[in-house]
Structures are given as C-alpha cells and as structure tokens.
Amino acid sequence: MNDCIFCKIIGGEIPAKPVYECEDFIIINDVNPIAPKHYLLLPRNHYATLAEMNGTDAEILGRALKTVSGLQKELGLENGYRLVINQGADAGQSVLHLHIHILAGTEMSFTVD
Ligand code: 5GP
Ligand code: ZN
C-alpha cells in the first residue's frame, strides 16, 4: 500500500491538482488521457480491486456515481460520458488502487479489442 501511486497522490506525497475533492474521494486528470476529457475518480481508502470491498465499503461506489452525475457541468460532461472500471489482468488494470475512469468530450465507439 505504501508504494501505491494513487495513495501517494491522495496523501499529497505526489503533487496533483484535483478537479474535485470530498471526504470519500478525489477526482484528477489522467496523466495519459485517451479522450479529450479523461478523469480518474480515486477513493481515498485503498482497495486494490473490487473484490477487496465488503458490502459496506462498496456503498462508496454508489456515492461516487451520484457525485459524478452531479458534476456534469463542472467537468464538462453535459454531452455524455463513460465510466470504466478496469478489473484485473484481462481488463488491463495497471494501478492496483480501485479507480473509476470518467471519459468524455467526444463520440465514443464501444468495442473490445
Ligand atoms: P488502469 O489501467 O489501472 O485502469 O488505469 C490506470 C490509469 O492511471 C491510466 O489511465 C494511467 O494513465 C493513469 N495513471 C497512472 N499513473 C498516474 C499518475 O501518476 N497520475 C495520474 N494523474 N494518472 C496516472
Ligand atoms: Zn492506494
């Protein structure tokens, strides 16, 4: 956990300029965007994967979805957006700190390649 890059961002060890912060999570710009708008919602608590969350932990995900929907104007999501959680190797999860990608700013196709 101490080596977790997202924990370091959340803890201020690695400087970042969150676009949103609250008690439960922060939202930052992805360092390597794949869409004109590409944010990452990071729970402040460290969960490597969805499987690590118990039922109570997982309630934060509901709050996260509701928060994103309340930030449509602030984050420029009015034309629509896509939320993605990459879970595990097949999905290409590269950072083992649960996070939600928020993608927007262009029309998107939907394929698995
Ligand atoms: P994953 O593949 O695990 O779902 O997504 C990890 C995401 O984190 C990638 O889109 C990657 O660009 C982003 N990322 C990795 N390291 C950093 C970092 O230090 N800062 C920020 N802002 N994004 C990062
Ligand atoms: Zn972490």
Residue 96 lies in a domain: no
State which H helix or E strand residue 40 sits in. strand 37-43
User: Is 31's C-beta closer than 6 angstroms to any atom of ligand 1?
Assistant: yes
Residue 12 lies in a domain: yes
User: Is 53's C-beta closer than 6 angstroms to any atom of ligand 1?
Assistant: no
Residue 113 is predicted with a pLDDT of: 85
Backbone φ, ψ for residue 13 (5° rounding)? -65, -35
Residue 105 lies in a domain: no
CA of 66 to the centre of ligand 1 (A): 22
Q: How far apart are CA 79 and CA 71, in angstroms?
A: 13
Residue 56 lies in a domain: yes
Per the CB < 8 A criterion, the answer to whether 101 and 38 are in contact is yes
CA of 82 to the centre of ligand 1 (A): 16
Which CATH number belongs to the domain containing residue 70 in this structure?
A: 3.30.428.10
Residue ranges making up the domain that contains 3: 1-34+43-80
Residue 30 lies in a domain: yes
- Per the structure, the count of domains in the chain is 1
Residue 62 is predicted with a pLDDT of: 97
11-69 pLDDT, tens per residue?
999 999 999 999 999 999 999 999 999 999 999 999 999 999 999 999 999 999 999 99
Residue 55 is predicted with a pLDDT of: 95
Residue 87 lies in a domain: no
Helix, strand or coil, per DSSP, at residue 92: coil
Respond yes or no: is residue 99 known to be catalytic: yes
CA of 30 to the centre of ligand 1 (A): 6
Per the CB < 8 A criterion, the answer to whether 57 and 47 are in contact is yes
Helix, strand or coil, per DSSP, at residue 84: strand
Closest listed residue to residue 35, CA positions, set 76, 93, 64:
76
Per the CB < 8 A criterion, the answer to whether 98 and 50 are in contact is yes
Residue 25 lies in a domain: yes
Residue 86 lies in a domain: no
* Region for residue 108 given its phi and psi (left: phi exceeds 0; alpha: psi -120 to 50; beta: otherwise): beta
- pLDDT-derived band of residue 2, with 50, 70 and 90 as boundaries? confident
User: Is 94's C-beta closer than 6 angstroms to any atom of ligand 1?
Assistant: yes
